[in-house]
Amino acid sequence: MPFSVTILGSSAMFQTLDRAASGYLLEYEAARIWIDAGGGTWRNLIDHMDHRELDGILLSHRHPDHTIDVFQAFHARHYGSAEPMDPIPLWAPQETLDGLASYAPELDSSFDLQAIGSGDGFGFEGARFSFFEMAHPVDTVGVRFEHGDGSFAYSADTGPDGDLAGLAAGVDVFICEATFQDSDPEWHGHLRASQAGTVAAQANVGHLLLTHLPSRRDLGLSVAEAHRNCEGIPVELASDGRRIEVGA
């Protein structure tokens, strides 16, 4: 059975008029999982679906541009109907869970807090999630998802020293951060678009989407710089609202 990934947010660092911060909705036959909850992604999520049908939330790391809208889901589940809704899983690295819980100690009334780390994996409702260590200043996991004959990977935020080869090996769809361009100074915690292209080629992915996109830049240049390193692989910019079907 196919599954789908919908882009809820594709902007780097903060929400802009055109793009929410980071977020994705994974939908398959048995479950709907929200991956990363950056500013603006809640609005896009509820535009797409009834939030009461969410089966889980997965956060890659604690940075606010990937987490703050989880509090929207918390309040909606806690105060949005006569009785608080039963908890659903909230998977994240332990330091992310600790940070969120320090801000809202009642979070565990709406979510079943479950720590994940690189090297971990689990099955959920007939699909498989696995997590890879990314290179970022805080504990960050890349997310690989497999269901039926389809596969998808999401880099979260990472520099080139993350385990991108393991994360993306042979996936049908790779959503990879591309915060920088070749003219920017290199920084260990994020990728240039050209580096995303190199990973896509080496991992032999089926389709590359660039995300965590900078504002006020020529993003056509990001696509060109990525594509130069992965000729033959389709490359596109992630854009909010875009829904990609994966698998047969």
Q: How far is the CB of 116 from Zn ion (least distance, A)?
A: 16
Which residue's CB is nearer to Zn ion, number 39 or number 150? 39
Q: From residue 127, give the alpha-carbon distance in Å to each of 26, 33, 178, 218.
A: 11, 11, 27, 37
25-33, 58-66, 76-84, 97-105 -> range binding Zn ion (CB under 5 A): 58-66
Q: How far is the CB of 83 from Zn ion (least distance, A)?
A: 35
Q: How far is CA 239 from the centre of its chain?
A: 13
Q: How far is the CB of 60 from Zn ion (least distance, A)?
A: 8
Q: From residue 118, give the alpha-carbon distance in Å to each of 34, 139, 202.
A: 19, 9, 21
Residue 65 as a binder of Zn ion (CB under 5 A): the answer is: yes
Residue 190 as a binder of Zn ion (CB under 5 A): the answer is: no
Task: State the Cα–Cα distance between residues 168 and 209, nearest whole angstrom.
Answer: 12
Element (H, E) at 94: helix 94-103
Q: How far is the CB of 5 from Zn ion (least distance, A)?
A: 18
Q: How far is the CB of 24 from Zn ion (least distance, A)?
A: 13
Q: How far is the CB of 54 from Zn ion (least distance, A)?
A: 22
Half-sphere exposure of 15 (CA within 13 A, CB side): 19
Q: How far is the CB of 55 from Zn ion (least distance, A)?
A: 24
Which residue's CB is nearer to Zn ion, number 146 or number 157? 157
Which residue's CB is nearer to Zn ion, number 155 or number 198? 155
**String of DSSP letters for 9-78:** E-BSSS--SS--SSEEEEEETTEEEEEEE-TTHHHHHHHHS-GGG--EEE-S---GGGTTTHHHHHHHHH
Residues from 131 through 170 that contact Zn ion (CB under 5 A): 157
Residue 63 as a binder of Zn ion (CB under 5 A): the answer is: yes
3-11, 42-50, 64-72, 74-82 -> range binding Zn ion (CB under 5 A): 64-72
49-57, 61-69, 104-112, 194-202 -> range binding Zn ion (CB under 5 A): 61-69
Which residue's CB is nearer to Zn ion, number 72 or number 109? 72
Which residue's CB is nearer to Zn ion, number 23 or number 89? 23
Which residue's CB is nearer to Zn ion, number 141 or number 200? 141
Query: What is the b/e burial string over 173-195, where b = at least 16 CB atoms within 10 angstroms of the residue's CB?
Result: bbbbbbbbbeeeeeeebbbbbbb
Task: State the Cα–Cα distance between residues 33 and 4, nearest whole angstrom.
Answer: 11
Are 226 and 178 spatial neighbours (Cβ–Cβ below 8 Å)?
yes
| Interface with Zn ion (CB under 5 A) | 63, 65, 157
